[in-house]
Amino acid sequence: MLPNYNNSLELLESVQQEQLYQKLLLQLKKDFELANVPINLPLDIAPEELKSIIHEKIYFLIVEKFPEYLNLLYVVDISEKEIKKIAPSDVVDISAEVSFLLLKREWQKVWYKAKYSH
C-alpha cells in the first residue's frame, strides 16, 4: 500500500528511495505527451526542479490553456472529487495542489506497475 504524503518533495524523495524516479519521469513525459502538453523533463532532473517545472506548467495551463489543463487531468486520471477538495484561493496555490495530485497519481501508476508486473 502506498503511504500518504504531505507534499510533492516528500513524495519525490520516497520515489527516489524506491529507485523508481526514472520510471516516474517517463510516465510523466508519456502522459503529458498523450495530453498534447509539451514539457521538457531531462532524465537527470533533480526532484526540486521537477516539482517546480510541473508547478509552472500547471499554472500556465490553468491561466492560458484551460482546455489543455482539463485534458491533462483526464489523461493522468485525477478524480474530479480530488480537484474539488482544493480550497479556492489564488492560482499559484491551486496549481501547487494540482501538481501534487498529479505527481501522486503518476507515482501510483509507476508503483503499481513495478509491484505487480513481475
pLDDT tens for each residue of 65-116? 999 999 999 999 998 899 989 888 899 999 999 999 999 999 999 988 988 8
Write the pLDDT tens digit of every residue in 17-26: 888 899 999 9
**2 — pLDDT class (breaks 50, 70, 90):** low
pTM greater than the 0.85 cutoff: yes
What backbone phi and psi angles, to 5 degrees, belong to 3? -75, 165
Query: Do the Cβ atoms of 57 and 39 come closer than 8 Å?
Result: yes
Q: Minimal CA–CA distance to 10: which of 87, 107, 79, 116?
A: 107
How far is Cα 99 from Cα 104, in angstroms, rounded to an integer?
8
From the number of C-beta atoms within 10 Å of its C-beta (0-12, 13-18, 19+), residue 26 rates as middle
